[in-house]
Amino acid sequence: MEWEFNSYYTLIAATVVLLVGKLMVNRIKFLQNFNIPEPVAGGLLAAVILFGLHYFYGASFKFEKPLQDAFMLMFFTSIGLSADFSRLRAGGMPLIIFLILVSVFIVVQNGIGVGMATAMGLDPLIGLMTGSVTLTGGHGTAGAWGSVFENQYGVTGATGLGMAAATFGLVVGGLIGGPVARRLVNKMHRPRLDVGGARATHADGGEIIDDPFEVRDQPRLITASSAIETLAMFAVCLSFAEIMNTYVGVLPKFVWALGAGVILRNVLVLVFKFNMFDRAIDVFGNASLSLFLAMALLNLKLWELSGLAGPVVAILAVQTLVMALFAYFITFRVMGKNYDAAVLSAGHCGFGMGATPTAVANMQSVTEHFGPSHKAFLIVPMVGAFFIDLVNVAILKIFISILH
């Protein structure tokens, strides 16, 4: 028995998940202490409930996947529309260092996957599917490389395995980032902020400073006209991404959407002197992020994950441990051993195991309790959403050429 939810009911279900997640985080001290993002908390509860219904009654659930993808594209578009060239220049050397650091971890991730798969008698390409293809790459990369591995290299079930591993990474990335950062921050004896304190950091006399994504629940002063202008820019970027994905390909669609946002923003600001309304972009971006994560976890079929072979589960468990240790001992130290470095470590856990939306949610859960980190929110979205996909493809091709 399969229950199919159209776009309207999928949207309703996602909003319920977010409301329940917010209630859980507000009421359960454990979730607060470990900085678990609200979409992850509510989404995991929903996934467990759906698993119980499937286990006891044989029911399965299908939610509207294109709607989930649309919110993901809107989130990446919002990153692009928020990234003017002055902010990119401000990233400077720390952005380059972080990109190198993340690239090194991709090599480590694939080395673990290939090494463990070979040791257990599996095709080494399965090691790549449980490495950066799915964990750093996410669902989109998993689907693309899965078909390549099946059609060109004869790896049976590579796409299904990739989807399961990417889903595992999405969940785990949201679970380990907050605790890693919390432990690092607590060692600095940095005090927690109350709700008013977090907002006071960004507000002065009611005027909100535009720091996209840093304080998700901060009030934004927007108008109907600014919202319409912002939606028009989103529409342009999403249309451009659709056209480029259809006729050019090469890069994932979300990269085209992000790139279109960067180009559109800077052309409007530098050439036409347009007054970009970052608050509206911020609102749409954060809402899209939360809805994407909620829908992704609603589509998490735990009964499929439970059917993963033991060796694959072992590889993913080791990958999780290595990610947490790498972020804690290496990312934190290399990036400066300060509060910004701790928030960067949470972000690294997010897209190193899952996706950039998870990284941003991880960082939000930390900064809401301990204060803003402009440096982390400048670096992580650009590295995780744009540069890392290009690096990942290059490293994967090197590994494949060595293995075959």
Write out the two tokens for 117. 């798969």
Q: At residue 100, what is the residue type?
A: I
Q: Which domain holds residue 241?
A: 2-403
Report the Cα 241 to chain-centroid distance in Å.
Answer: 19
Q: Which of 339, 387, 342 is nearest to 100 (CA)?
A: 387
The answer to whether 11 and 67 have CB atoms below 8 angstroms apart is yes
What is residue 146's predicted lDDT score, i.e. its pLDDT? 76
pLDDT in single tens digits along all 404 residues of the chain: 778 888 899 999 999 999 999 999 888 887 776 556 788 788 888 888 988 988 888 888 888 888 888 888 898 788 788 776 666 666 678 888 999 999 999 999 999 999 999 998 888 988 999 999 889 887 666 766 776 787 778 777 676 677 778 878 878 888 899 899 989 998 887 877 654 444 434 433 443 444 555 555 555 577 888 889 899 999 999 999 999 988 887 666 777 888 898 889 889 888 888 877 878 888 888 888 788 878 877 877 777 655 556 788 899 999 999 999 999 999 999 999 999 999 999 999 988 987 777 888 889 888 888 888 888 887 887 787 667 877 887 898 899 888 87
**203-204 and 2-4 beta bridge pairing:** unpaired
The Cα 203–Cα 201 span in angstroms is 6
What is the DSSP-derived secondary structure letter of residue 307?
T
Query: Any idea what the CATH number is for the domain that residue 10 is in?
Result: 1.20.1530
pLDDT at position 153 is 82
0.85 cut: is pTM over it? no
* Overall domain count for the chain: 1
Q: Which residues contact 298 (CB under 8 A, 6 or more apart)?
A: 10, 13, 14, 17, 43, 46, 47, 50, 61, 63
User: Which letter does DSSP use for residue 193 in this model?
Assistant: P
Beta bridge partners of 62: 4
Q: How far apart are CA 198 and CA 251, in angstroms?
A: 38
Amino acid found at 82: S
**Residue 201 carries which DSSP code?**
T
